[in-house]
Amino acid sequence: MLDRLQELHDEAMKKVAEAEDLNDLKEVRVAYLGKKGPITEVMKGMGKLSAEERPKVGQKANEVRESVKSYIEEKEKAFEEAAMLEKLKKESIDVTLPGRPVSKGSRHPLTSVVETIEDVFIGMGFNVAEGPEVETDYYNFESLNLPKHHPARDMQDTFFITSDLLLRTQTSPVQTRTMEKHEGQGPVKIVCPGKVYRRDEDDATHSHQFMQIEGLVVDEGIRMSDLKGIFATFVKQYFGEERDIRLRPSFFPFTEPSAELDISCAMCGGKGCRTCKQTGWIEVLGAGMVHPNVLKMGGFDPDQYSGFAFGMGVERFAMLKYGIDDIRHFYTNDKRFLNQFTRV
């Protein structure tokens, strides 16, 4: 029996030595050390042995098992290490390879125009205020002297959400909200940039959603000449020193008197051309003295306070400054368009 065990040992050791991978080792383990293996088989016959021989065979069997087992484990470890090394080699990263270039984004032209305009007004002591795009009928219309069924509401076709909620048609509601916060105490000096919405057919010069900047100054003794002075400074800083301005009478329900601001045409220097339709002037914004009703609803006493307000379309300013011929370029995100503004 001892000889048989030694024979099995040598056989198993040879197979382990010949094993080429983990799978081969598993087969040897199952074949020789498993419950149905020959060593177990030999040990089952131990009952027939004498009391003297039994422990010897038992010891030998254990020795054989241990020896085979530790050889298998040793080789398993070696295979695993080799596999790991192979894997590390395969997955190693060449840190000296040049990186792939990441294309840099840039400010959207509308964003940079808004920021430029904001900066000019901040330089004249204005604060920047923002507010919600979903507004109530009260803030968008009523507080601006546009009661329900007023015909001038039709000037701004509106996206209604409910009978009382709507997408703001101008950023003026931010201004009436700011007036309320001042609780009748001047001065108020703000510009309000933001998206506004109107039910319009989109074409080269109209969009149902666009950017607006409105401004509001309320204090004691504010006059039309203050408005004109602020505009003269603004236009020269934004469009260039050589630009002239003029005011033309106009109408808005929230201002009285109201005016339209023109700037002298840069294309022809005021002589008249296609861009200015032969007038030498280009209309850029609407403005006026804040209507007493609007001051009152904003919490200001119109006998003590007066103010001026204005509103401009940001797209129009960007189009005039950069010679863009179609408003839709701002929203279609064509990189050939956007890439031209990486440095503004």
| Touching ligand 2NL, residues 115-174 (CB under 6 A) | 172
Q: Least Å distance between CB 273 and ligand 2NL?
A: 24
195 DSSP β-pair partners:
211
Would you say 32 or 139 has its CB closer to ligand 2NL? Answer: 139
Among 230, 287, 314, 320, binds ligand 2NL (CB under 6 A): 287
Q: Which residues contact 151 (CB under 8 A, 6 or more apart)?
A: none
- Please report whether residue 214 would count as binding ligand 2NL according to CB under 6 A: yes
Q: Least Å distance between CB 192 and ligand 2NL?
A: 9
Please state, in angstroms and rounded to a whole number, the distance separating the CA atoms of residues 107 and 249.
36
Q: How many CA atoms lie within 13 A of 293 on its CB side?
A: 12
Please state, in angstroms and rounded to a whole number, the distance separating the CA atoms of residues 231 and 225.
10
Among 290, 314, 318, 327, binds ligand 2NL (CB under 6 A): 290
CB atoms within 10 A of CB 46: 14
- Please report whether residue 297 would count as binding ligand 2NL according to CB under 6 A: no
From residue 216 to residue 255, the character string flagging contacts with ligand 2NL as x (rule: CB under 6 A) and all else as - is x-----------------------------------x-xx
Q: Which stretch binds ligand 2NL (CB under 6 A): 97-105, 106-114, 183-191, 210-218?
A: 210-218
Q: Is the dihedral of CA 219, 223, 229, 230 positive or negative?
A: positive
Q: Which stretch binds ligand 2NL (CB under 6 A): 99-107, 115-123, 201-209, 212-220?
A: 212-220
Tokens of 272: 């008249």
Would you say 40 or 250 has its CB closer to ligand 2NL? Answer: 250
Annotated binding site: which residue ranges? 256
Q: How far is CA 182 from CA 40, 131, 149, 242, 281, in A?
A: 96, 16, 29, 38, 38
Tokens of 337: 């368009």
Q: Least Å distance between CB 173 and ligand 2NL?
A: 8
3-state SS class at 77 = helix
Smallest CA-to-CA distance from 198 within 159, 144, 235, 226 is with 159
- Please report whether residue 176 would count as binding ligand 2NL according to CB under 6 A: yes
- Please report whether residue 197 would count as binding ligand 2NL according to CB under 6 A: no
- Please report whether residue 288 would count as binding ligand 2NL according to CB under 6 A: yes
Annotated binding site for Mg(2+): which residue ranges? 256
Please state, in angstroms and rounded to a whole number, the distance separating the CA atoms of residues 264 and 244.
5
Residues that bind ligand 2NL (CB under 6 A): 172, 175-176, 212, 214, 216, 252, 254-255, 286-288, 290, 294, 309-311, 313
